Amino acid sequence: MGRYNRRLFSTIRQPTMEAERLNAITNQIADLRAREQELRRYL
């Protein structure tokens, strides 16, 4: 793969990876909030 194609491919993939990372973080926050609520009810 040429230098131009490699750069183009990494540019295209980066926003997708960033969106996936943001989704993962959002899901972790939602999970922690749910656990917090369960613990508050338990205690």
Residue 3: domain span: 1-43
Contact 21, 13 (CB under 8 A): no
- Count of structural domains within the chain: 1
Q: Say what the pLDDT of residue 17 is.
A: 73
Segments of the chain scoring below 50 in pLDDT: none
- Res 27: pLDDT: 95
Rounded Cα gap, residues 21 and 13, in angstroms = 12
Structure tokens at 41: 């009810």
Tell me the pTM: 0.59
**What is the C-alpha separation between 6 and 18, in angstroms, rounded?**
18
